[in-house]
Amino acid sequence: MLLLLWVTNSKFIFSFYIIYFCWLFLLLRSIKFSTPQAILDMPNVTVVFDCTVEKIIHDGSKAVALQTNQNITLPLKNSKLILAMSTLPATTLVLNSFPQLANIGKRLSAHFVSSIIARVPRTSLSITENDPDIQLGAVYITGMQNKAQFHLQLSAIDSRQCENKQIINDICKKYSANSIPSECIDKSQDFVVISCSTLGELDYKNNQNHFELSNSSQCLTTNGQLSFCLNEQDKQLWDVMDQATFQVLEKLSNQIQYWHENEKTWTTERPLPNQIRKKSLVHDSSTMWIGDRNDTESPVTYDYRLRGIENVYVTGGALWPTGGSWNPVLTIVAMAMHLADTIH
């Protein structure tokens, strides 16, 4: 859901994607100390619900108004417009609004993912009978192949002394690297179950990967089209990444077993690539990468401003010059805070 916050006689207009339950909590005024609640309490703020910005109206060098799905146009006056709406929605809005800008969507990076679940006998690890009912452990391991990054996120759970399966499953959903099917836990009372999610960097230099407008949709918010394919660097990195994951797991015990989702069973055989590799990408980025004064091709300048547009700013994963392999949320938050300091 898109919630548009209209700030009268102020410098900023913010548009946010807010998931439904957060919006519901706001209506119930139950998030006492949240930033949206503080904004709503300001006397010069008007909230427009179910209002989606479809297009930014401009004079060639400056955004002057917002076209919305409610057949109303919201004038910007002297406001600064901040696109804080994740990578692809922000890119779609810019492509529809500023066709004259160069290189929007020409670069794409993201993460490809493998997901492996394994288990080792408790007897092969240093676990005593006096240990807590439920124990969790986690480790983060980084790697690189030909300057392309990947990392392993491993989390382990020992729950032999806990009989409440619901509690165990809830803990796994909250804290494990990836989802652990309940039957894995139910059949592993004498084992430590290990969840492993590995992420690799999609090569941003692959010019076959891009995001552009499509003629298949007339809706201005959904007419974007993502195209990507793996090149040789991506394929080699994924192979190295999976091999590293198995090597790390098999260092734990020579009695390790792997979960095979298709057969719903544990075996000592490694699962095949088509069983562990996700078919979709995560953490899409780099469609409006940021550059310094020497990077004349970057769509966004060093002050987070769309190149050639004086009052439109971008934040989020679209800014990454490269994807890397790191989980992006903390960096996104840090850059958003820096943007706020920059334009304040």
Question: Per the domain annotation, does 10 fall within a domain?
Answer: yes
pLDDT for 135 equals 77
pLDDT for 23 equals 37
Report how many domains make up the chain: 2
Whether residue 35 has pLDDT greater than 70: no
Both 170 and 137 in one domain: the answer is yes
Segment 140-174, tens digit of pLDDT? 999 999 999 999 999 888 777 666 667 777 777 77
At 281, list the tokens: 């990408």
Both 248 and 116 in one domain: the answer is yes
Q: Please tell me the distance from the alpha carbon of residue 263 to that of residue 245, in angstroms, as a whole number.
A: 22
Question: Per the domain annotation, does 65 fall within a domain?
Answer: yes
Q: For tokens 């060093």, name the residue.
A: 302
Question: Per the domain annotation, does 214 fall within a domain?
Answer: no
Both 37 and 86 in one domain: the answer is yes
Average pLDDT of span 27-42: 59
Across 28-37, 171-180, 282-291, least confident range: 28-37
Are 297 and 288 within 8 A, CB to CB?
Answer: no
Domain range enclosing 42: 2-107+286-343
Average pLDDT of span 219-240: 94
Question: Per the domain annotation, does 42 fall within a domain?
Answer: yes
Both 265 and 323 in one domain: the answer is no
Across 2-16, 38-52, 284-298, least confident range: 2-16
Whether residue 13 has pLDDT greater than 70: no
User: Using CB atoms within 10 A of its CB, is residue 191 exposed (0-12), middle (13-18) or buried (19+)?
Assistant: buried
Q: For tokens 């979960």, name the residue.
A: 259
Both 102 and 115 in one domain: the answer is no
Both 91 and 156 in one domain: the answer is no
Q: Which residues pair with 251 in a beta bridge?
A: none
Pairing of β 109-121 and β 282-285: antiparallel
**CA–centroid distance for 261 within its chain:** 25
Choose between 11 and 247: higher pLDDT.
Answer: 247
Residues comprising the chain, all counted: 344
Both 254 and 323 in one domain: the answer is no
Per-residue DSSP letter, 181 = -
Q: Which of 246, 264, 281 is the last residue of a domain?
A: 281
Average pLDDT of span 101-124: 93
Q: Please tell me the distance from the alpha carbon of residue 305 to that of residue 51, in angstroms, as a whole number.
A: 24
Whether residue 196 has pLDDT greater than 70: yes
Whether residue 234 has pLDDT greater than 60: yes
Question: Per the domain annotation, does 223 fall within a domain?
Answer: no
Question: Per the domain annotation, does 209 fall within a domain?
Answer: no
Neighbours of 323 (CB within 10 A): 26
CATH number of 84's domain: 3.50.50.60
Segment 43-63, tens digit of pLDDT? 777 777 788 999 999 999 999
Question: Per the domain annotation, does 210 fall within a domain?
Answer: no
Both 7 and 52 in one domain: the answer is yes
pLDDT for 292 equals 86
Contacts for 166 with CB less than 8 Å, ≥ 6 apart: none
Both 293 and 233 in one domain: the answer is no
Segment 297-317, tens digit of pLDDT? 999 999 999 999 999 999 999
Local structure of 35: helix, strand or coil = helix
| Mean pLDDT over the full length of the chain | 84
Local structure of 233: helix, strand or coil = helix
Both 144 and 187 in one domain: the answer is yes
Report residue 177's pLDDT band, with 50, 70 and 90 as the boundaries.
Answer: low
Are 252 and 196 within 8 A, CB to CB?
Answer: no
